[in-house]
Amino acid sequence: MSETIFTKIINKEIPAEVLYEDELALAFNDISPQAPIHFLVIPKKPIATVNDLEPDDKALLGHLYWVAAHIAKEKGFAEQGYRAVMNCNEDGGQTVYHIHLHVLAGKPLGWPPYQEKLKSI
Ligand code: 5GP
């Protein structure tokens, strides 16, 4: 797959507010937060979309969720709650083609997320 902005963040070629890093994953604040707390957890391995996951990536995906929960506990919002989602392709709203877990917290989050759109149809 072609290189994305997230590869540059992993390689420290462009700055990011890093919250967590290990040999498999990196977590950093989203540049355009959609909630009081909004960070991304990404694998260091470049995988374009959820559709491109291989059987060998299953543990890696679990690790990304573990990182999200670890940060949530460390920052003290785990009990209050949060949303951890991955967007896939155009209809999913994906803009960066290197899979990433959005972690949103710090306020009650609406559900379902498409409610506003449906109301305006
Ligand atoms: P997507 O739309 O692909 O699900 O999410 C991509 C996310 O990456 C967006 O929330 C966007 O704000 C964030 N993003 C895009 N470019 C950068 C960047 O250079 N730095 C950081 N920290 N976040 C970025």
Helix or strand holding residue 91 (H, E)? helix 89-92
Q: Give the pLDDT mean for 84-98.
A: 97
16-62 pLDDT, tens digit per residue, is 999 999 999 999 999 999 999 999 999 999 999 999 999 999 999 99
Q: Does residue 105 carry a pLDDT above 90?
A: yes
Q: Does residue 121 carry a pLDDT above 60?
A: no
Which domain range does residue 23 map to? 5-119
Q: Give the pLDDT mean for 87-93.
A: 97
**Neighbour-count burial for 86-120, b at 16+ CB within 10 Å, e otherwise:** bbeeeeeebeebbbbbbbbbeeeeeeeeeeeeeee
CATH of the domain at 20: 3.30.428.10
Measured from CB, residues less than 6 Å from any atom of ligand 1 are: 5, 16, 28-32, 40, 87, 93-96
Q: Give the pLDDT mean for 8-16.
A: 98
Q: How many domains does the chain have?
A: 1
DSSP assignment of 22-85: -SSEEEEE-SS-SSSEEEEEEESS---SGGG--GGGHHHHHHHHHHHHHHHHHHT-TTT-EEEE
| Pocket perturbation via mutation, ligand 1, pick of 34, 96, 101, 103 by most ligand atoms within 8 A of CB | 96
Predicted pLDDT at 39: 98
